[in-house]
Amino acid sequence: MNVNYPDAAVYANFARKLQVYNWRFNEQTTVKKDDIVKFKWFSVRDGDKDRILGITVFPYRNGSKVSYRWDSNIACQINSGCNFDPSAAKRMQDMVKSIAND
């Protein structure tokens, strides 16, 4: 999504409002002030579940661009469909949009 604010300010919103996810294997995702692309994993509470949300922010034209990925544990079986939850996807999208434009 495109955001009308500078990338450093948008990234700071995510860092301030969300809890950083700590990987068991101690992944280092240090973001420096002058990094063009800023990425970090966060832990997000979604109802009764904790989800892992990866946020990428980078400069784009006169603002910034935010992309995200989240762990949803989708499983698909032949002839029985998938357990994809569109309402969870919408909640994640709305939350990312809200924080990015705060």
Instruction: Look up the pTM and report it.
Output: 0.79
> pLDDT tens digits, residue range 7-59?
999 999 999 999 888 766 555 556 666 678 899 899 998 888 888 999 999 99
Domains with residue ranges and CATH for the chain? 2-100 (3.30.530)
- Reduce the DSSP state of residue 66 to 3 states and report it: strand
Q: Is the model's pLDDT at 82 over the cut of 70?
A: yes
> pLDDT tens digits, residue range 51-77?
899 999 999 999 999 999 987 777 788
d(CA 34, CA 14): 17
Closest CA to 4 of 66, 91, 46, 73: 66
- DSSP lists the bridge partners of residue 19 as 43
- For 11, the enclosing helix (H) or strand (E) is helix 7-17
Greater pLDDT, 78 or 99: 99
Contact 63, 2 (CB under 8 A): yes
